[in-house]
Amino acid sequence: MGSANEVSERRREMQNQRPTGVRFLEHISSTSFSFKTYQTIVLVLTFVAYASYHATRKTTSIVKSVLDPETTQLGFSHWLRFYFSGAEDRPGLKKGWAPFDAPDGTALLGQIDVAFLASYSVGMYFAGHLGDRFDLRIILTFGMIGTGIFTSLFGVGYWLNLHSFYYFLVVQMLAGLFQSTGWPSVVAVVGNWFGKKKRGLIMGIWNAHTSIGNITGSLIAAAMLEYGWGYSFVVPGFFIASIGLMVFFFLPVSPDKMGIENEETQEPEFAEKDNIAEPLLEGHLIEKERAVGFLEAWRIPGVAPFALCLFFSKLVAYTFLYWLPFYISHTAVDGRYLSDSTAGTLSTLFDVGGVVGGILAGHISDRLDARAITAASFIYCAIPALFFYRLYGSISLWWNIILMFVAGIFVNGPYALITTAVSADLGTHSSLNGNSRALATVTAIIDGTGSVGAAIGPLLTGYISTRSWNAVFTMLMIAALVAGLLLTKLVVAELSAKIESAKSQTSGRSSRSSVPEILV
């Protein structure tokens, strides 16, 4: 009886520690929320939270064309020069912003990107480690407010008339560190509330926050350009800090911390353990609370291949994230150059395709029960999609829109699948014996490794694009090919398992059909 009272007392303490906003809403409604209501709150808040992260991340790509307005020296060394003629200097260009308006301005912008992403990827590993050990709500709030401050400080350089490259470099590095708190935290929170059933579809839809954030950030930054590029940073910075406060007051981190029963994350293999005597149950709960170590998480089957695959997948995705508006504004479409704001708005169609791709990849992987096969298939399809976008995207605006949308589907589809459903699956892998305290660490390992590729892609693009955009697209297609090949072992394993399953089902039906004959 004593142990039962201790469990009840612990549950009451957890309920008293719930976010202030949730307790306030429950007080108004005069009843406790249902499990489904909590899930809805989690999905909405984490969706808006991470969308705001990406909104602040996208602004740099929109402002690039203003900071460095000079046309890069485009070299068309191969791939049917006929389709890429007319790369003359653009008339009526505005003066840029020192030091980015110099001849090496494009390379400097690439260095800014890699500084942000390098600190982001390093910070990701620490953020995941902390996320499995401390309150995710506090970590997420701290990261969002810090991101808002340093995003705004980049824009403040406009009003203070700052032209020091190192000022912008340091601000971006600190913004990257604060941004690294976002992804491990939101995936861990969602993973705490949703079991594996339909996880691919749910997280595929939920992962639209990445593209919605990119679109929102693009539209806000493009709209603010006419008032001064500083507003393109300050407005999203204020937005994410405000959302951070909402997260602090309203986000329920997990069913355990809310003191309620988790209805969906109970796996069948642990059902018997949950029904045994209470003292053993308490020991099981204590075991589940032990956080998994960094090296131990790397040894979970599938973590290393998917992490390395994401390295190359994210290299492709983030090159588009940071350079697509710049590429569109510096490439003649139907013989004309688009304005900076129009190019930024048009680039959002890539992210719209990403929304569709993430949902499709999640749904298909659920139906097939094959994450690796689905991810590899999308990655291989991205190769011709990139080729055709570069080859025919300049023919007309409609061709550009259609091919950009298709490229977004196949580039962002596997990226979304790996960073959400795959990370959540591996963070609750059967080898962990029911331990759920690996979600943030595994997510950080996979996305942190991917972020290293995300840093390298934009950096290389900054240098390579000054010579030839064809070389940039060649690099992206090679990266996509390598990403697909890295999943080969997992794809073969999934195919073998499905073949064996089909054989066993066939043999089972054959044995059942032969029973009447034997009886006769």
pLDDT of 235 higher than 70: yes
Give the helix/strand (H/E) hosting 153: helix 136-159
Model pTM score: 0.67
282-335 pLDDT, tens digit each:
333 334 455 556 677 777 777 888 889 989 998 998 888 778 888 888 888 888
Specify the 3-state DSSP secondary structure of 516.
helix
**Residue from 207, 375, 370 nearest 306 by CA:** 375
Q: What is the pLDDT of residue 481?
A: 96
Choose the weakest-confidence range: 233-242, 341-350, 473-482, 490-499: 341-350
* Both tokens assigned to 294: 């960094």
What are the angstrom distances between the C-alpha of 247 and each of 21, 44, 242, 456? 9, 10, 9, 32
Contacts of 347 (CB under 8 A, 6+ apart): 61, 218, 324, 325, 328, 404
**227 vs 65, residue with greater confidence:** 227
94-120 pLDDT, tens digit each:
567 888 888 888 778 878 888 888 888
Specify the 3-state DSSP secondary structure of 336.
strand
What is the spatial distance between Cα 164 and Cα 61, in angstroms, rounded to a whole number?
19
What is the spatial distance between Cα 39 and Cα 255, in angstroms, rounded to a whole number?
10
Choose the weakest-confidence range: 267-276, 327-336, 474-483: 267-276
**Residue from 355, 476, 480, 353 nearest 420 by CA:** 355
pLDDT of 167 higher than 90: yes
Q: What is the pLDDT of residue 508?
A: 65
pLDDT of 78 higher than 50: no
pLDDT of 518 higher than 60: no
**40 vs 83, residue with greater confidence:** 40
- Answer left, alpha or beta for residue 30, where phi above 0 means left and psi between -120 and 50 means alpha: left
- pLDDT over 90 percentage in the chain: 25
409-455 pLDDT, tens digit each:
999 888 888 877 776 666 555 554 444 556 667 777 887 788 788 87
**Residue from 411, 421, 398, 313 nearest 354 by CA:** 411
